[in-house]
Every structure is written in C-alpha cells, then in structure tokens.
C-alpha cells in the first residue's frame, strides 16, 4: 500500500532514536499537522499528527503492503534497535484524517481505463456510499492523487497541492475534466464507507488496548512451570479473564518482532514486570530489563 506524500519538510534522513524523539517533541510543540514516515528493515511506520496531537500510527509491511494500526510503545520498542530513516510531510487536517483510514480501504476500481464521461459515475458512487479514500490518476502528464472524505472530494482554498495530493479546486477540476494532453486516464480507487472505517478502527483499538508492555524479570523456582509467564493480578483482570487463578494462552512479542506463544498466570506484586523462567528467556534471547509485549489469545 502506497501512502501519498504530503509537502516535504524533511525527507529520507538518518536520525538516531534520541534525535527522532526530539523532533517529535518539537513538531508537537509547533502544532504540526501531517505525518512522519519511518523506514525500517521489514516495514514502514507512519505517525500522524493533527495540530500537534498524535492521531494514529500505521505500519505497512514491506513484503505484502498490508497496513495495520499500531501502538506507539510497540513502535518505539522496534525503532530503539533499528536504524531510523525518517521523512516528515505536511498536510492539512482533513488530508491527514483521510489518510489515517487507509488501513481499512478496499479496492473499488483497479487500473480502470476512464474517460471524462466516466468520472461523474465514479464520483457519484463515492458520494452515495459516503466513502472516504484515495483516487489515483495516471495521465500522460504523470501521476496524481485526489482524496475523498465522506463522499466529498477534499479541496483546500489555500493550497493547490500537498506533495502528491491535489487539493486546490483549480487543479482538481482540471484533472477531473481531463484537461491534459490525452483522451483518457487510468484510475484506481481505494476507499471504504466512513462508518465502516470507524467500526474497524474501534475494533482494532480495542484489540490493541489488550497489548501490554512489560519489563522482563527472572522468575524461577523448583516447582515453577517452564512454559508459563506471570504478570500482575490487575493486568489479568483488565484482560477480563474470568478465572484469575487459571492459566490462559498469550502471545509474546520481543523487541526484534519475534512472536512466541506461552501460557500466562496471574501473580502478586509484579507491577510492570513479567516473570519469565530462565529457560523461556534463553529461548527468546532475553535478559532481565528487556521489554516485551504480551496479548491474551482467548
């Protein structure tokens, strides 16, 4: 999945983790609207801001192009141990809002050979269904993107474009009226109904809220099971586990993104720590003080 660029603030520079975090703090203080793009080994991360507030984090897998929502803490765990190449793009509030929904977009048209007479029908479908999404045009003059918000083409009176994204009415109308040196264009539309985007976002955010980050703590003993991680009682209650004395399956993610399935059990006075046996720590390549993420599987 390609996320169109906004207006370039900085592009493809190498930053240390501390420098990247300092830049985030400065952008927030300056009421920044737009997004950061971080290029990592196996995925790209997009951190969206609206008027200085962190709005959403998306990850795009390099291998598949799949887009997913992510928690800030899990992203920070990854980038602490990876080289960071960073770009920052400025957009309007409305443009940023549409792009945050890209994780839910579906292909409505793929490489559709369109002429001027076809566009009213395409736009009517988007309007009637109250879709939000991206229209990509490939014309003899190049490639451009137009955004749709709740069925309405996104227009900006003060800016003709945000990077790849056309926003000014004059530029948008010229494209929709096919006022270029060719008779047709190849059009692709990725979009979803606005209410469906909201529903999918709520469901994913509820799932993400179950993911907790812990500091690894050695927790051994003669009678201690070697395949059980222990976390504090209050965490198990937050996960709505009916029987807090039972064991239940969990998924553990280490800082390098490796996933492991183990059993979990409530314990006392663990606070923000997860108790792992030496055998578990050895298998996952962990030492005390490392961080892991855990989510229940039931």
- Per-block mean pLDDT, blocks of 10 residues, the chain (298 long): 92 91 94 95 92 95 91 80 86 96 96 93 96 95 94 91 94 90 87 96 89 91 85 92 87 88 93 93 94 89
Instruction: Identify the sign of the CA torsion 136, 160, 156, 97.
Output: positive
- Write down the pLDDT at residue 183: 73
The string of DSSP codes covering the chain is: -PPPP-EEEEEEEEE-HHHHHHHHHHHHHTT--EEEEEE-SSEEEEEEEETTEEEEEEEEETTT--EEE--HHHHHHHHTTS-EEEEEEE--HHHHHHHTTGGG-EEEEEEEEE-GGGHHHHHHHHHHTTEEEEEEEEETTEEEEEEEETTEE---SS-SEETTEE-SHHHHHHHHTT-SSSS-EEEEEEEEEHHHHHHHHHHHHHHHHT-EEEEEEE---TT--TTEEEEEHHHHHHTT-S-TTS-EEEEEE-TTS-EEEEEEEEESS-TTEEEE-HHHHHHHT--TT-EEEEEE--
pLDDT at 235: 93
CATH code at 210-296:
2.40.40.20
Structure tokens at 227: 């395949």
CA distance 85 to 275: 34
The encoded tokens of residue 151 equal 């069925």
Please report the pLDDT score of residue 222 as a whole number: 73
Which two structure tokens, joined as six digits, stand for 146?
């137009």
pLDDT of res. 141:
85
β-pairing, 248-253 vs 259-267, is antiparallel
pLDDT recorded at residue 82: 66
pLDDT confidence of residue 256: 79
Of 12, 14, 20, residue with least CA distance to 80: 20
Parse the chain into domains and list their residue ranges: 7-90, 104-198, 210-296
């Amino acid at each position: 999945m390609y996320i169109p660029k906004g207006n370039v603030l900085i592009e493809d520079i190498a930053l240390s983790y501390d420098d990247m975090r300092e830049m985030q703090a400065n952008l927030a203080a300056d009421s920044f609207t737009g997004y950061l793009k971080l290029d990592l080994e196996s995925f790209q991360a997009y951190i969206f801001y609206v008027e200085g507030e962190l709005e959403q984090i998306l990850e795009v897998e390099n291998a598949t192009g799949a887009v997913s929502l992510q928690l800030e803490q899990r992203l920070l765990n990854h980038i602490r141990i990876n080289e960071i190449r960073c770009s920052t793009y400025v957009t309007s509030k409305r443009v940023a809002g549409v792009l945050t929904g890209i994780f839910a977009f579906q292909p409505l048209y793929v490489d559709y050979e369109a002429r001027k007479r076809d566009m009213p029908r395409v736009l009517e479908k988007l309007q009637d269904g109250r879709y939000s999404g991206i229209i990509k045009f490939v014309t003899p003059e190049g490639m451009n993107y137009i955004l749709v918000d709740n069925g309405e083409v996104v227009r900006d009176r003060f800016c003709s474009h945000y990077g790849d994204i056309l926003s000014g009415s004059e530029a948008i109308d010229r494209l929709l009226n096919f006022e270029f040196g060719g008779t047709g264009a190849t059009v692709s539309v990725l979009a979803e109904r606005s209410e469906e985007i909201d529903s999918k976002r709520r469901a994913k955010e509820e799932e993400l809220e179950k993911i907790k980050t812990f500091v690894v703590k050695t927790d051994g003993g003669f009678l201690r099971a070697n395949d059980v991680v222990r976390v504090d009682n209050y965490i198990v209650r937050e996960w709505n586990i009916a029987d807090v004395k039972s064991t239940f399956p969990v998924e553990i993610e280490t800082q390098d993104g490796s996933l492991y399935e183990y059993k979990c059990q409530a314990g006392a006075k663990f606070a923000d720590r997860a108790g792992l046996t030496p055998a578990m720590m050895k298998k996952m390549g962990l030492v005390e003080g490392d961080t892991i993420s855990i989510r229940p599987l039931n």
